[in-house]
Amino acid sequence: MHSSATRVQEHIGDPVSDAPPLDRDDLEEVFQDIQADIRFDHELNGCLNCGICTATCPAAHYYDFSPREIVQLLWTENLEGIYDAMQEKIWSCAQCYTCAARCPFGNSPGGLVMIMREVAIKHGMQSAKDVLRPFSRVMLKLISTGNQLSPDMIKPDHFADWGPNIAKVDAPLKLLRQAIPMPTLNTLETAWEVNLKTSIELYTIWEMTGVLDQLETIDENLFDVISDIMDEKREDYEDWLEDQEDEDDDEDD
């Protein structure tokens, strides 16, 4: 069991100005949230500072990012450095876990980055808002349909990087999808149709696991839109249940 106290020096902040970037209590709270995650002790066992993780990390080749640095910050409990890394660097990781496969200590730098990202979301950090904003349409799609992508989202204008391959989606998708024997796939608006009961169950999971709280912290407007959609679906489900009961009663009569 890890301790809640940190080994960090008492003074935190810019050595020339004496002004801390954030109140020390806030820095501690961020670190303690990272440390309290159930995965933390499994993913950080010590660090040789050998750099094997960084040498094999694809993100380190392209960005100002080093898994070795992230692990060192956490291992030495450098609160200010941890907070600083959460403002940009942690979002560079591709979550490929090559680092975890190579680390001689059995650390998972990619897993630690994931914990830091979740804590950044919990604390409503601007970096999390900026990184996640482009995904709001996907989130809306996921909540409203149960799928994160649908055939009608694949438009040639949106995928210029596909080059000539984009011509392949310029096919009569509607007709082709209707030819699929499973009726739940005969649609372009979602990848497949998710039934109401499953949607409602997903909402319950997202509520109970704190996903929706995180969404509210990051994007209140999107949260409001999604809450309305969830309410409507729940009402639809209640109506459907009532219809079923009425049908059962009619059959009994």
Least distance to ligand SF4 from the beta carbon of 147, Å?
Answer: 26
What distance in Å separates the CA atoms of residue 234 and residue 238, rounded to the nearest whole number?
A: 6
Evaluated on CA atoms 158, 163, 169, 170, the torsion sign reads positive
- Residue from 53, 74, 120, 218 touching ligand SF4 (CB under 6 A): that is 53
Residue 105 interacting with ligand SF4 (CB under 6 A)? yes
Cβ neighbours for 156, distance < 8 A, ≥ 6 positions apart = 166, 167, 169, 170
Stretch of 91-99, 188-196, 218-226, 243-251 lying at the interface with ligand SF4 (CB under 6 A)? 91-99
**Closest residue to ligand SF4: CB criterion:** 110
Least distance to ligand SF4 from the beta carbon of 148, Å?
Answer: 21
Q: What is the dihedral of CA 124, 120, 133, 152, to 10 degrees?
A: -130
What distance in Å separates the CA atoms of residue 57 and residue 102, rounded to the nearest whole number?
A: 10
Within residues 107-146, the interface with ligand SF4 by CB under 6 A covers 107, 109-110, 113
Residue 74 interacting with ligand SF4 (CB under 6 A)? no
What distance in Å separates the CA atoms of residue 201 and residue 29, rounded to the nearest whole number?
A: 33
Stretch of 31-39, 98-106, 136-144, 217-225 lying at the interface with ligand SF4 (CB under 6 A)? 98-106
Cβ neighbours for 3, distance < 8 A, ≥ 6 positions apart = none
Residue 98 interacting with ligand SF4 (CB under 6 A)? yes
Q: How many CB atoms lie within 10 A of CB 249?
A: 9
Stretch of 32-40, 54-62, 206-214, 218-226 lying at the interface with ligand SF4 (CB under 6 A)? 54-62
Residue 99 interacting with ligand SF4 (CB under 6 A)? yes
What distance in Å separates the CA atoms of residue 196 and residue 67, rounded to the nearest whole number?
A: 42
Residue 217 interacting with ligand SF4 (CB under 6 A)? no
Residues forming contacts to ligand SF4 in the complex (CB under 6 A) are 47-53, 57-59, 67-68, 71, 93-99, 103-105, 107, 109-110, 113
